[in-house]
Structure 1
Amino acid sequence: MNFLKTTMLLAALTALFMVMGFSLGGGRGAVLALIVAAGMNLFTYWNADKIVLKMHKAVEVDARSHPEFYAMVQRLAQRADLPMPKVYIVDQDQPNAFATGRNPENSAVAATTGLLKVLSHEEVEGVMAHELGHVKNRDTLIMTMVATIAGAVSMLANFGMFFRSNRGIAGIMAIFIAPFAAMIVQMAISRTREFGADRSAAEISGKPLALASALAKISGKAQRIPNPVAERNPAAAQLYIVPAGVRQMFSTHPATEDRIAALQDMASGGGADGWSGRSDEIGDMGRLKARRSALDPTRSR
C-alpha cells in the first residue's frame, strides 16, 4: 500500500508538471514538460548521490579513519541484509543524518559531526538504522525524484509569472496554485516514507526507544542550530532524519512527537514485531514520554 500510494502521488506530481507546461505552452508545452520530467528523473537516477554529497561537502570515512562509526554502520547493514553503503561525515554542528543513492547497491549514509557529539552510541545506532531503512525501502531515489519535479514546478511557476501567454484565468490560477499543490504532494510522500523508515530502523537495530530518544534530543537542536546547506537549498530539508528550519505546517516530516509515540508503541509490543522488548528499553519509556510531552505539552498518551 505504501508503494502504491507513493506511485500515485508521484504520478500526480508529474501530471501537475504537465499542467504547468500546458498552461504556458498548450499541448506542445504539456508534451515538452513530460519529456523534461523524464529527463530530470533520468539525470537524478545517475547523479543524485554525487550532487547531495558534494552539496554537503561530505567526507568519506572507512574502518581506519573512523573505526567505531564505520563498524556500527557495517553491523547494521548486515542485520538489514543490505550491501555495505559508503559512509560519510559532514562537518556541521547541527545534529542530523541522511541517506542517498539510486539503489541499495549504490547507496551512501552520512551523519554530521554534531550528531556524533550529541547522541549516545545506541542513539547514533538508531539514527543510522533509520537511514539504512530508507535505503532498504528504496526511498532515497523516490524522494530525490519528488524533490526534482517539485522544484521544477516552482521554477515553471516563477517563469510563467513573467512570460505567461494570454491563457485567461485558468492559466493564471495554475501558475499560483501549482507550487502549493506540489508542496502538498511532496509532504504527503515524505511523511509516509519517514514512518516506514522509523519502523525499519526498529526492526534493524532492535532498539526502537534508542531512535525515539535520538529524535527527542535532536529535534529542538535542528531548529536552533543553523544548517547552511538547507538555508541555501530548502529542498534539502527533506533529506534529513529531522528537517532543519522548517515550520511543522510546511514540514516534509511527521510531527516528531507522533514518531516517538509510534516507536514507543513498537517497543511496548515486545518481540512480536521482530525486536526484543528489553527491560532497559521498556524502563526508559516513562522518560521518553516525559520528553515527548516537553516537545508538545498539549499531547498526552
Structure 2
Amino acid sequence: MNHVKTAMLLAGLTALFMAVGFALGGSGGMIIAFVVATAMNLFSYWNSDKMVLRMYGAREVDAHTAPEFYNLVAELAHRAELPMPRVYIMDNPQPNAFATGRNPQHGAVAATTGLLNSLSRDEVAGVMAHELAHIKHYDTLTMTITATIAGAISMLANFGMFFAGSRGNNNGPGPIATIAMVVLAPIAAMLVQMAISRSREYEADRGGAEICGQPMALASALARISGEAHQVHNDEAEANPATAHMFIINPLSGARMDNLFSTHPATENRIAALRDIAGRMGGGMGGGMGGMFRRASRPQAQTPAADRPASGPAHGPWGQRGSEADDRPRRGPWG
C-alpha cells in the first residue's frame, strides 16, 4: 500500500509541475516542467533520506563513537528482525527522533541529543522501537518522499511568486495564474501532507511496544517529549515544516502556518492506546528488553533535569568529540 501511495504522490507531483509549467510558459514550459519533475522523482526516491538527514545536520555514529545508543538500536533491530539501520544523532536540545530510508535494507534512525540526555534507557528504547516499526512497515518510504515533495511544492510556489513579480504585465502570467501559484501550491502541499495517515503513528506505537516489550515506557516517553517539544524551539524543523510528520512528536511550535503540517494524532490518545496494549501484554514494564534496562534506568529516573549534564553541539555522552580534557570512559545518562 505504501508503494502505491508513493507512486501516486510522485505522479501528482509530476502533474502539478506540468500544470504550473504550462501556466508559466505554455506547451514549452510544460515540457520543461515534465523533465524537471521526472528528474526530481528519480532523485527523491534514491536520495530523499540523505537530504533529510543533511537538512538536520545529523551525524552518523557507530559502536565506537556512541556505544550505548548504537548497541541499544542494534538489540532492538535484532528483536524486530530487521537489518541494522544506520544510526544518527542530531545536535538539537529538543527531545525528538525520526526514521528514514526507502526500505529496511536502507533504513536509518536519528535521535536528538535532547532526547538522549533527558529520557531514561527504557524510554529511549521505546522511542527507537517506534521508529524501527516505521521502517518495518515501509512507512519511511512514503514519509521521506512526502517531505521532499512538499518541499518541492513550496519551492515551486516561491518560484511562481518571483517569476510573476519579475516579468512585465504583458508577458507575465495573468492574475489567475499568479493566484494559482501563490494559493494553490501551498494547498497542494497540505494535500500531500494529508497522504500521511494519522493511523500510521498508532500502528508504529503498537509495533514499537511489541519490539521493546514495554508499552508504558513508550507512553512515558511520548508524554515527556510532548511536554518539552513545544517549549524547546527546533530551528531546523521550523525552517522545514514539511518534514514535521517524520518525527515521533510534532516538532513545530504551532506559530504561523505550522498547524497545516500537523499529521500527528493527539498524544493523549496515543498514550491511552498504549495503556490498552500494556493491559493485554500484562503491564508492559515488567517484560521486554530485560532487567538490565530497568536497573540502568531506575536511578536516572530520579535525577532532576537541572542536575543532568547540559547538552550542546557535539557534547554529552553520545559521540563526544574534541574533549581533550577528559579521557575517562563515559557511561551516558543511563547509569
State the TM-score, normalized to the length of structure 2. Answer: 0.72
**Which residue of the partner structure matches residue 22 of structure 2?**
22
Other-structure match for 1:288: none
Instruction: Give the superposition deviation at 1:27.
Output: 4.2
User: What 5-or-longer segments of structure 2 have no aligned partner?
Assistant: 165-171, 288-335
Q: Which amino acid aligns with 2:207?
A: S
Contact (CA 8 Å) 1:107, 1:135: kept in 2 or not?
A: yes
**Equivalent residue of 1:225, what SS?**
coil
Q: Tell me what 1:278 maps to.
A: 283
Once the two structures are overlaid, the 10-residue window that deviates more, 108-117 or 175-184, is 175-184
State how 1:134-173 maps to structure 2 within 5 Å: 134-164=134-164, 165-167=172-174, 169=176, 172-173=179-180
Are residue 176 (structure 1) and residue 187 (structure 2) matched? no
Query: Residues 163-220 of structure 1: CA distance to partner in whole angstroms, max 9, x if unpaired?
Result: 3444563663354123123223314415343333223212322222221211111112
2:84 alignment partner, SS class = coil
Counterpart Cα distance in 1 of 2:44 and 2:177:
31
264 and 7 in structure 1: CA distance in 2 versus 1, 3 angstrom threshold: farther
Alignment-mate amino acid for residue 131 of structure 1: E
Rg larger in structure: 2
Moved more, 32-41 or 100-109: 32-41
SS in 1 for 2:196: helix
1:80 matched residue in structure 2:
80
Report how many residues are paired: 276
Alpha-carbon separation, structure 1, partners of 2:284 and 2:200: 29
The 5 A counterparts of 1:14-53 are 14-53=14-53
Which residue is equivalent to 1:234?
241
Q: Deviations over 1:124-165 (max 9, x none)?
A: 111001111121122223222212222222222222234344
**273, 280, 284: which one pairs with 1:262?**
273
1:65 is matched with which residue? 65
Please report how far the alpha carbon of residue 4 of structure 1 lies from its aligned counterpart in structure 2 after TM superposition: 5.1
Q: How far apart are the structure 2 equivalents of 1:201 and 1:211?
A: 8
Kept after mapping to 2: 8 A contact 1:92/1:113 = yes
1:165-204 alignment runs, 5 A limit? 165-167=172-174, 169=176, 172-173=179-180, 175-189=182-196, 191-204=198-211
Task: Spell out the pairing of 1:98-117 with structure 2 (5 A cutoff).
Answer: 98-117=98-117
User: Relative CO higher for 1 or 2, CA cutoff 8 Å, sep ≥ 6?
Assistant: 2
Compute the TM-score of the two structures, normalised by the length of structure 1: 0.79
Separation (CA, whole Å) in 2 of partners of 1:13 and 1:257: 34
Code of the aligned partner of 1:145:
I
* Conservation of the 8 A alpha-carbon contact between 2:89 and 2:112: yes
SS in 2 for 1:95: coil
Q: CA deviation at 1:224?
A: 0.8
Q: State how far apart, in whole Å, the 1-side matches of 2:274 and 2:34 are.
A: 40
Whether the aligned pair in 1 keeps the contact of 2:198 and 2:264 (CA below 8 Å) is yes
Identity, in percent, stands at 62
Partner of 1:289: none
Give the equivalent residue in structure 1 for 2:216. 209
Contact 1:17 1:149 (8 Å CA) reproduced: no
Asked if the contact 1:99–1:109 (Cα under 8 Å) also holds between the matched residues in 2, the reply is yes
Cα distance change on mapping 1:243 and 1:145 into 2, 3 Å: same
The answer as to whether partners of 1:98 and 1:240 remain within 8 angstroms in 2 is: yes
Where does the alignment leave 5 or more consecutive residues of structure 1 unmatched? 271-275, 283-301
In 1, Cα distance between equivalents of 2:2 and 2:267: 20
- Tell me which moved more, 38-47 or 127-136: 38-47
For 1:234-288, what per-residue CA distance to the aligned partner results, in whole angstroms no more than 9, with x for missing partners? 33323321121242732132222232233233333x1xxxxx3336479xxxxxx
Whether the aligned pair in 1 keeps the contact of 2:198 and 2:265 (CA below 8 Å) is: yes
CA distance in 1, matches of 2:286, 2:19: 50
Stretch deviating more after TM superposition (139-148 or 72-81): 139-148
Q: Does the CA contact (< 8 Å) of 2:14 and 2:38 recur in 1?
A: no
1:253 maps to 2:264:
yes
CA–CA separation in structure 2 for the residues paired with 1:64 and 1:256:
35
